[in-house]
Amino acid sequence: MAASRSSSAGKLTTTQRHQMELERKVGDMLGTFVGLGRHQRSVLLELWREEHVEFLVQKGLRRLGASYSVLDSSRPWLCYWSLHSLALLGESFNLELGDDVIEFLERCQDSGGGYGGGPGQMPHLATTYAAVCALVTLGGAKALGSINREKMLQFLTRMKDSSGGFRLHEGGEMDVRGCYTAIAVAHILGILTPTITYKVNEFVVSCQTYEGGIGGEPGAEAHGGYTFCGLAALILTNQMEGLDLPSLLKWAAKRQGKVEGGFQGRTNKLVDGCYSFWQGGIFPLIQHVIPRLVSQLPVFRNHLLHPADENDVLHMCCKVKTCLESKKTGFVHDNSINSCISGEEDEGTSEPNIQITRTRIEGKESPPIMSAETLFPLKFHGSYQNITDAQQHSTDCFSKEDEQTKHGAAQGLSTFNQDSCFVRPFFNTQALQAYVLICCQVLEGGLIDKPGKPRDFYHTCYCLSGLSTAQHPTWLQAEACPSESDVLGPSCNLLEPTHPLCNVHFERYLEARSFFNDLSL
């Protein structure tokens, strides 16, 4: 996000000032990083696992501070944030701790289905999602068997609105969060019925804005969290019709800060560590629907009037890949992606800007700022040695797409259609990892929103989720190991993979799907 423009009167807005202050703070941290010796830089790029585990267990699951009383209605979330973070860090759960969590969440489960924010509280879709994900993360028959699927289906059905959306609780508000949480829970539990999926597409598409992202409700501003939720809900239900994927991709790609390397949640907002997942997690989902993305590009639409073969699609995929993963620059060239999405050709190319960023403050040029764009340029290192290999894989994956369409949501997408993910991620994964590791870690454990903010379990969870997403860029099968170049810093930084649609530990997700598929309502 550039903050170099001043108002017509030559004065900066409050938003611009805050952006410049953050860029300066992050730039100073990156500048200090560059000036250190190799060993010191290695320490700063290391994920401080032991400290994070101690924070999550001793300060979270075992004993919460008094300040957390304001989250009394979000207690299943506290369980999920802590357990999921520990799972990504590769920690196992002892039997006593697991039993305590199961017993507590059983007291949060409503007799009519769903989970409330605490014992005796009304069931809510958000805390229901959190409780189910926490139990899935624990794994095992006791945890999974504690979920009342029959009552859950009744609860989800009651929350369903005729518009296609979901109310978050009885008589409550209706937004894209409701669609995602309801559908993700139904998907995991194997109760994704036609009633649940009815007209979800219509509601989500009505929330897509002129910018390309998705807002919480029709007419609302595009937001990273809602965009992830909306896109994931449509993929889970196999209802992608009507969603403008090129504009969504363009909007999401522009949310990554050039100086910071992290993501902002909305236009003209500061980067925030939690959007490492909510925004960074959008790109693996787009990888899943590359053929549909390509079919919407203007330069390809003419082919839709006649039978198009795989070569057409492959060439367009390569063009998209070239635009978004250029070897020459650390971030997407606006003119490249614009021309690809609009169908207009560039009039020449410009040299990439790899210089230290300068901003102008009320007409005066500020001192140079070190940027993540400079330190961690995007490098293309695709999975294929040549176009022939990619073409063969492309042909295979497009032939399999028809088979998946036949089965759709009933198949559960349990392997996330791994074969379609042959295009590398559409964002700078190295810069994002640098933001999380250098700017968001607290020495005493836990992760934060941005430098200067306090640590908490929410940001710890989603910073680690985003870090895992960035380390596993091609979303192959769960047991596949990313290449050394995918992981910034020492190899011990590698986290466990999280499922890109549900954000639970990948192997625990597969275990839960298998467990519930063997049950009947």
Exactly one of 269, 321, 424, 450 is catalytic; name it: 269
Q: Is 318 among the residues known to form the active site? A: no
Exactly one of 459, 505, 508, 513 is catalytic; name it: 459
Q: How many percent of the chain have pLDDT more than 70?
A: 75
Is 339 within a domain?
Answer: no
Q: How confident is the model at residue 315 (pLDDT cuts 50, 70, 90)?
A: low
Burial class (CB in 10 A: 0-12, 13-18, 19+), 118: middle
Q: How many domains does the chain have?
A: 1
Query: For residue 145, what are its two tokens?
Result: 């068997």
Exactly one of 124, 272, 397, 502 is catalytic; name it: 272
Is 109 within a domain?
Answer: yes
Q: What is the pLDDT of residue 62?
A: 85
Q: Is 269 among the residues known to form the active site? A: yes
Q: Is 456 among the residues known to form the active site? A: yes
Q: What is the pLDDT of residue 310?
A: 43
Q: Residues 364-388: what's their mean pLDDT?
A: 65
Is 317 within a domain?
Answer: no
Nearest-angstrom CA–CA distance, 428 and 279: 12
Mean pLDDT of the chain: 82
Exactly one of 84, 167, 223, 333 is catalytic; name it: 223
Q: How confident is the model at residue 413 (pLDDT cuts 50, 70, 90)?
A: very low
Nearest-angstrom CA–CA distance, 101 and 80: 10
Is 8 within a domain?
Answer: no
Q: pLDDT tens digit string along 496-517? A: 999 999 999 999 999 999 999 9
Q: What is the pLDDT of residue 492?
A: 95
Is 340 within a domain?
Answer: no
Residue 164: which domain range? 13-63+70-297+351-517
Is 302 within a domain?
Answer: no
- Of the candidates 418, 509, 503, which has an alpha carbon nearest to the alpha carbon of residue 464? 503
The least confident of 16-20, 39-43, 174-178, 375-379 is 375-379
Burial class (CB in 10 A: 0-12, 13-18, 19+), 26: buried
Q: Is 223 among the residues known to form the active site? A: yes
CATH of the domain at 196: 1.50.10.20
Segment of 69-73, 275-279, 372-376, 392-396 carrying the highest mean pLDDT: 275-279
Q: pLDDT tens digit string along 152-166? A: 999 999 999 999 999
Exactly one of 115, 180, 226, 275 is catalytic; name it: 275
Q: Is 100 among the residues known to form the active site? A: no
Q: How many Cβ atoms sit within 10 Å of the Cβ of residue 353?
A: 15
Q: Residues 324-346: what's their mean pLDDT?
A: 40
Q: How confident is the model at residue 400 (pLDDT cuts 50, 70, 90)?
A: very low
- Of the candidates 444, 445, 490, which has an alpha carbon nearest to the alpha carbon of residue 471? 490
Reduce the DSSP state of residue 116 to 3 states and report it: strand
- Is 80 exceeded by the pLDDT of residue 56? yes
- Is 50 exceeded by the pLDDT of residue 348? no
Exactly one of 110, 175, 456, 486 is catalytic; name it: 456
Q: Residues 33-45: what's their mean pLDDT?
A: 91
Exactly one of 84, 149, 266, 321 is catalytic; name it: 266
Exactly one of 84, 160, 175, 449 is catalytic; name it: 449
Q: pLDDT tens digit string along 106-123? A: 999 999 999 999 999 999
Q: What is the pLDDT of residue 165?
A: 97
Is 89 within a domain?
Answer: yes
Exactly one of 274, 317, 461, 463 is catalytic; name it: 274
Nearest-angstrom CA–CA distance, 292 and 41: 42
- Is 60 exceeded by the pLDDT of residue 256? yes
* Segment (H or E) for 276: helix 275-278
Is 322 within a domain?
Answer: no
Place of tokens 């978050």: 168
Give 3-state DSSP helix, strand, coil % of the chain, rounded to 5: 55, 5, 40
Nearest-angstrom CA–CA distance, 319 and 324: 9
